[in-house]
Amino acid sequence: MKDHPVNIHDMVRRAIRAQVELGLGEVIVTGTPVKLEENDLVAQMSSVRKVSQTADMFDPAVTVSTTPQYASLEDHFNAMCDCQRCSLGQTRNKLVYGAGNPKADVIFVGEGPGADEDRIGEPFVGRAGQLLDRILAAIQLSREQVYIGNIIKCRPPNNRDPLPEEMESCFPYLLEQIKIIKPKLICCLGRVAAQALLNTKTPLGKLRKQWHDFHGVQTLVTYHPAALLRFASYKRDTWEDMQMLKARLDELTGA
């Protein structure tokens, strides 16, 4: 039996797509950084995800210190569960509101539901969610202790990046959840969540290893668990981020 020929174009396309999804500012090819804007191949590949333009999308006057509109997450969910603010309301199977401790000290914020989440109606239940469970366990936390949500609550078709108008429509829901829970810390999982929540275009790599402020709530940025399934080398970086998170949490709670 003859070996199938290696499709170099397809290999490069997959590598570029994966690294763009990670929010890297450059593509690593045989150990040499190549700036994305200088690589003609990037511009030719329509399948590569586009970075969402989230800057200046959200009202800078919003604050999580004000009194929430709803008394509980249950009340909030009941009020918004039939949402049709954007076209995703027409294509979703189930709205994925969020899950976890309604009085959590930490909220983890991802990008949006995938196929498994859309089918079940809960966040992070697929392979990436299983890895998130292991990450939490490594710092002595569980789903029952934290809260997990997403920037958007309905799955985009084919798992594409959320559109700016979709995130803008859904963002008030996440803000209300944060107001109700009043967490001590927020952890953004991945580029889309970090750029949307922090209202920035800064690449994920430059947002890591430092604390940010989301209207009075200390916020940390790390890789999305799905990225770790593609690039195992990022597990060490994520572990360092989680150690930062746990150390700050222990400091704030007196653990």
User: Which of 146, 76, 66 has the alpha carbon at shortest distance from 107?
Assistant: 146
pLDDT at 135 (0 to 100): 96
pLDDT at 66 (0 to 100): 79
- Amino acid identity of residue 139, one-letter, is I
pLDDT digits (tens, 9 = 90+) for 30-85: 344 444 443 433 333 333 333 333 334 555 455 666 789 999 999 999 999 999 99
Q: What is this structure's pTM?
A: 0.78
| Residue 62, token pair as written in the block | 């919003």
Q: What separation, in Å, do the N-terminal and C-terminal C-alpha atoms of the chain show?
A: 62
| Residue 193, token pair as written in the block | 């969540």
Q: What is the pLDDT along the chain (255 residues), one digit of tens a residue?
A: 444 444 555 555 555 554 444 444 444 443 444 444 434 333 333 333 333 333 345 554 556 667 899 999 999 999 999 999 999 999 999 999 999 999 999 999 999 999 999 999 999 999 999 999 999 999 999 999 999 999 999 999 998 999 999 999 999 999 999 999 999 999 999 999 999 999 999 999 999 999 999 999 999 999 999 999 999 999 999 999 999 999 999 999 997
pLDDT at 47 (0 to 100): 32
pLDDT at 169 (0 to 100): 96
Helix axes 73-80, 164-181, angle to 10 degrees: 150
Tell me whether residue 159 is exposed, middle or buried, using C-beta atoms within 10 angstroms of its C-beta: 0 to 12, 13 to 18, 19 or more: middle
The chain-wide mean pLDDT, for the chain, equals: 83
Place of tokens 């994520």: 238
Do residues 193 and 151 lie in contact, with contact meaning Cβ atoms separated by under 8 Å? Answer: yes
Sequence-separated (6 or more) residues with CB below 8 Å from residue 118: 92, 93, 94, 96, 154, 155
Cβ atoms within 10 A of the Cβ of 28, count? 12
pLDDT at 39 (0 to 100): 42
